[in-house]
Chain A
């Protein structure tokens, strides 16, 4: 988080992390497609010839608060391929929250675990306290054969404190729900650190409402969550 009182600007960094081909870029593409152009920047993406993310993707989403602050949420993805670990670490620096995009298939379990461990390693290397950076787990590709059952997802949920969201990112399912969950946790952490509601008059409800105000929420649970102030689990 970068809080600049002189320019009245708050910058939030959310990083989409996970194994190669788990759907990180697809998540950003879906958010981009569902957000009105006045509330976001261009989706910057650098791909190799085989459509794999080479460096990172970046989608900025921004809004103005009632208190006169500009809030910029920068959504990044890291390159998933093993060889790009240094780039992953550079992108992960100073992240306020992480969305860990896992592949739901049972065959991907080992890779998910490897990247989970890699995330913890890189956080430590970057001086981030893994216990203090909120993480949301998205189980993507729920539609593929061999995916884990809902009961198995429930088991994963019970094993840790991170919220778990099921998704089929390619169809947009679960994408905004994941974003909602990760932004809610990011806000809570930043509020704890910098007292956002006390110091710049930005409440959690306003933060989430303004981000999603320019997004097409049809067919998602986010509208209900915004109305009820619910937290996904």
Chain B
């Protein structure tokens, strides 16, 4: 609730409702003024044409006495002449004040207007002027409030003959013939006629106010509703931002947890593998065939586990932004041959044809040898893993030439296979950490879904790009494009799911 007009003292209020925020009072709770609801310039035009049509002076004031329209008609000379007499001036000023600011009641010289029997006059009053002229004043009522008043006149009542003594007594020496000739310029009519014209004007005004109120309220409420919508969106955005921050925190926690756990897993695993090695090499006594087989299995599985843990550690380090690349001269041919020979045993076990094609000329580049080897091994072991028995894997290294994608000199490392392929709709997801095309618990292929995420990060760390083409059931082709000389190493390389790029700096 709100209270007002009580000399600023708080009113008797028991309202302790909590306010979420102080919003400005809606237009629906404001008292509207005439100026809110009327288009003042077109309204003034309308009043002018009305005054000209009926040859009558028309004035419209709002409730505070501000003039919204003021059209004079014919009375200028007469009133000016009367005004030139000192007493005339005083009485004229008095009459004008009575008409403009006096009470809208039949007091202080005002009386009820002469209206035809049964006509509702809606609070109209008639105010006689000491000159014998007359004014009619009508309150502008809206929803029970007085919003202002319309003043018609002065006009000459039809029954006015000689100028009254109330004028002649106050203006000694007045030239009556002159005064009469000025008077003739003012509209002469029966009061009841002017009453009808004024009632008609009031109807017109009511229609204008009704239309104006509708337009004003609806446009203002529309603005308020838009602001309200905006406020709601801002609140929602803030909530989303907060959630985003929380999610990022959780993601960091997850990476840090994985890093710690992987590290803690690797330490005992190294001992398991080390002791198994010593056992299999007979350092603590000769083993029989069965024992040797068992110990080799322990070593093999331990090795697989170690690789898995290493890749988790790699990814967590990439995500934590802790990976640094060290560039040195690398002979690509040698590096690819080493990588290929490391996966040869697995390929042979599955009966795959492994075909390596190197360019005629040696490719000498700058790269991080270890990371590049891992890129190759990851792609190759994926190809071997996802190609069924009897299939083929082809490895191709191109010569150094201009690479449009890199906008500079570079080379390509391509691994193609006749494997199971990747569904088209998942091609852009396979580079995400932990993503696997087959995510079911009964999936056919092992692994943690980290190999390609690592490939992408390392390749991009070299300023290169990875591209994949695949057809389900037909095979896949991974192309790695690398520059001959990578850009100066950034202190860290970006995680596989990179942050959105920072907004461009302000233009102005």
Contact = CB atoms under 8 A, between A and B. Distances in A.
Contact of A127 (B6, B19, B224): B19
A188 B210 CA distance: 33
B4 A6 contact: yes
B222 to A, nearest CB: 7
B29 A93 contact: yes
B18 interface: yes
B222 A128 contact: no
Contact of B218 (A42, A55, A124, A128): A55
Contacts of B224: 90
B6 A5 contact: yes
Interface string A183-203: 000000010111100110000
B431 to A, nearest CB: 41
Interface string A38-52: 000110101000000
B218 A5 contact: no
Interface string A60-103: 10100000001010101000000010110111011010000000
A127 B5 contact: no
Given A2-B3, A89-B228, A194-B1, A70 B144 contact: yes
Nearest to A89: B228
A230 interface: no
B143 interface: yes
Contacts, number: 114
Nearest to A133: B17
Contacts of A6: 4-6
A86 B18 contact: no
A151 B218 CA distance: 42
B28 A91 contact: yes
A126 B11 CA distance: 22
Interface in A113-134: 124-129, 132
B29 A13 contact: yes
Point out which of A4, A62, A129 has the most chain B C-beta atoms below 10 A from its C-beta.
A4
Contacts of A195: 12
Interface in B252-290: none
A86 B232 contact: yes
A192 B1 CA distance: 12
| Majority secondary structure, B binding face | mixed
A6 B222 CA distance: 31
B14 A127 contact: no
Contact of A128 (B17, B143, B228): B17
A55 B225 CA distance: 9
B62 to A, nearest CB: 15
Contacts of B11: 3, 5, 194
Interface string A20-55: 000000000000000000000110101000000011
Contacts of B222: 55, 87
B3 A4 contact: yes
B210 A5 contact: no
What band does the interface of chain B fall in when counting residues whose beta carbon is under 8 Å from A? Answer: 35 or more
A37 to B, nearest CB: 11
A7 B5 contact: yes
B213 interface: yes
B240 interface: no
Contact of A41 (B5, B21, B142): B142
Contact of A93 (B12, B18, B26): B26
B214 interface: yes
A58 interface: yes
A87 B224 CA distance: 8
Interface residues of A, number: 46
A58 B217 contact: yes
Nearest to B210: A42
A2 B29 CA distance: 8
Contacts of B144: 41, 60, 62, 70, 72
Contacts of B218: 46, 54-55
Contacts of B5: 4-7
A90 B26 contact: yes
A127 B3 contact: no
A194 B17 contact: no
B2 interface: yes
A1 interface: yes
B3 A194 contact: yes
A56 interface: yes
B226 interface: yes
Contacts of B17: 127-129, 132
A11 B225 CA distance: 23
B349 interface: no
A93 B19 CA distance: 11
Point out which of A70, A89, A124 has the most chain B C-beta atoms below 10 A from its C-beta.
A89
A126 B228 CA distance: 11
Contacts of A87: 221-222, 225, 228
Nearest to A125: B20
Contact of A5 (B1, B4, B15, B145): B4
A131 B20 CA distance: 16
Contacts of A190: 1
A41 B29 contact: no
A123 B213 CA distance: 27
A95 to B, nearest CB: 10
A204 B140 CA distance: 31
A11 B145 CA distance: 12
A96 B1 CA distance: 8
Nearest to B21: A127
B13 interface: yes
A58 B30 CA distance: 14
Interface of B: 1-6, 11-15, 17-21, 23, 26, 28-29, 142-145, 210, 213-214, 217-218, 221-222, 224-226, 228-229, 232
Given A55-B217, A58-B217, A194-B3, 12 more contacts: A4-B4, A11-B29, A44-B210, A44-B213, A46-B218, A60-B144, A89-B228, A93-B28, A125-B20, A127-B21, A193-B14, A193-B15
14 contacts: A2-B2, A3-B3, A7-B5, A41-B143, A44-B210, A58-B217, A62-B143, A62-B144, A89-B228, A90-B221, A93-B23, A127-B21, A194-B1, A194-B14
Report the 8 A-B pairs with minimum CB-CB distance, sorted nearest first: A6-B5, A41-B143, A62-B144, A86-B228, A86-B225, A1-B1, A127-B19, A87-B225
